Structure formats: C-alpha cells, structure tokens
Amino acid sequence: MKTPILLSLFLVSFQLYAQCTEDECGPPPMMPNYLCFDGVTMAGPGDCIQNSAGQCYWEIITCPAISGYLRTIEASFCMDECSQYSIETEIDPYFGSINVIPSNLDMDSYIDRFVEVNLGPQFSCVECNAFEIEQISLSDNCQYPVDCFQDPCLVEDCPAYPNAECVANYCGGCYADYYNVNGQLITDCGDTSSCPGDNPSGCFQNGCQDGYECIVDESECVPSWCGCDGFYGDWFCTEDCGGGSCVGSGLLGDLNGDGVINVMDIVLVVDAILHAEYDPMGDINGDGQLNVVDVVQLVNLILG
C-alpha cells in the first residue's frame, strides 16, 4: 500500500518542479550572463522553467540590491571614469566600498546620501573596474540614523512644487526629500520668486490638496511641466496638455459633494449647463463637456 502512495507523491513533486524544454520556452534571450558584485550571483538568462500556471519561460536572474552612501572619489591611482564614484557600505566604510559608474544618470542629488542601487555588469576602464548603476534611489533604511532636533519637513519647503509630498530622511543628516505624485524625487525645489505667480503646470507636477485627485481634463490644456527661468524672470513649459487638473475626489455625479447622488445634483448640472460652466463631476460620459446627455445619464444613475 505504501509503494503506490510514495510513487504518486514522487510524480506530483516531479510535475511541480519539472523544468521545461528549450523548445517550449522558445529562443533564449539575447542577453549576456555576468558575475554580480557579490562574487556569487550570476545574472542574466537562467533556466527554462515552468511557473505555477504551467507556462514555460526563461528565468532572468538579477543582481541583489545594495545600500550605502554614494561618495565621490577624491584621489585614486587610476584617474579615469571608473574612479569617480563609490558605494560606501555601513558595515565596513573603508574597505567595503564598491566603485560604480553611472549609466546616463544624474548623480548630483545622491552624492553623500544613503541610497539603494541596482548594479549591472562590471566595466573595465583604462586602469580600474567599476559596476554600472542601473537604478538608484534614496533610502531611509540605514542602521545608524542621525538624531535631529525636529522633523526636517517642518522647517523646509519646496516653493516650486507647493503640493509635493515631503519625506523626512535621517540617514547621514536631517533631510527633507520631496516627491511628486508619481513618487519621483524632486531635484529642483529652488526659489521661484523671480517668476510671477504660481507654477502654471498641472497637478501631475504640483500635486493636489487633500480631498482632490489629479485627472486629465480634455476641456483644458495644462502643461505637464514648467520651470522658472531666473534670468528672464518667467516660466517656461512643455508644449503638451497632459498636466492634469485637480478635481474633488468622490462619486461621479455627486456635484455638491454630500456623498449622495440625488435631485440636487441634477439641479447643479442643469445650472452649470445654463451658465456655460464645466464641472468634471457632472461629466458622466467623460466627453469633456456638460450637456443634456449628462443630465439623462445622471437621472439614470439616480433611478438605478
């Protein structure tokens, strides 16, 4: 009785962990294999394997991420491109540093900051070697944070992006880092007093106040990015209409924001149409304009 049971378990285990054939995965990816900075992981195409859904695919192995402080190398016996930057680890800051080389990345915002980086293959320069930085981001996951007297976000501001999210970071200092609605680090929070008024770009750059969400309004053309030109004292913007506008977050059709769609919302839609006004909460069909079609659809929403 035990033999059939053990045989069944073996067959099930074999099916769960069986590799696919190369024909089932198709041509292998045209990617090189290379040794990661840890000296153990071999990145690049792996085996032809099967996922839980029974699909066959080529396994792509990536190097593990590494954290540390990005430093500029002041002096080196090999004065070439591979001796400009290094990642200084917290465990062994003097002997645990790794030479790195950026791949079309701006390093100025990350120098002397605690970062998390994804490293690619090792490059050879004239006299030294360095690992390519494929991706870099600020990190607050350091082992020895600094004690600050107060939250740096309470004393810093970002005038170019008034609605940006401020994140306090205590790794290596008392930093106030600002991010846009897409989670991207803002590097130009500088003074905009030389330009008139507020930044005219849309909310995808400037963000929205609490209770509002950012959407692209087809009836408005708002640029996606604007910057202050201190020399000319004026704003310069991209020539597009994808910047987004802030609208009250809530139920579509709830024009008065009371959380209920009823006859009062119909009155407000009709009033907006008569006064040639636009309210995206009343644009039920999303065509960028308010008309009788939206009234009919709003009535249908109320009637169920």
**Distance from the first to the final alpha carbon of the chain:** 62
Q: Residue 18 pLDDT more than 60?
A: no
pLDDT-above-90 percentage for the chain: 12
Question: Two tokens at 110?
Answer: 């990350």
Residue 142 exposure: Cα atoms within 13 Å on the Cβ side? 21
Residue with the bigger pLDDT between 195 and 173: it is 173
Give burial (CB, 10 Å; 0-12/13-18/19+) of 290.
buried
pLDDT at res. 9: 39
Predicted TM-score (pTM) of this structure: 0.58
> The domain at 251-303 falls in which architecture?
Orthogonal Bundle (1.10)
When the pLDDT of each residue in the chain is averaged and rounded to a whole number, the result is 81
Strands 98-102 and 129-138: parallel
pLDDT at res. 207: 78
pLDDT-above-70 percentage for the chain: 86
Give the separation between CA 162 and CA 164, rounded to whole angstroms.
6
81-110 average pLDDT score:
80
Over the stretch 246-257, which tens digit does the pLDDT of each residue have? 876 667 788 887
Give the separation between CA 124 and CA 122, rounded to whole angstroms.
7
Residue type, 190: G
Q: Do residues 61 and 42 touch, judged by C-beta distance below 8 A?
A: yes
Q: Residue 1 pLDDT more than 70?
A: no
Counted residue by residue, the chain has a size of: 304
Q: Residue 232 pLDDT more than 70?
A: yes
173-183 average pLDDT score:
87
Domain boundaries, the chain: 2-61, 66-138, 251-303
Q: Residue 184 pLDDT more than 90?
A: no
Give the separation between CA 40 and CA 57, rounded to whole angstroms.
23
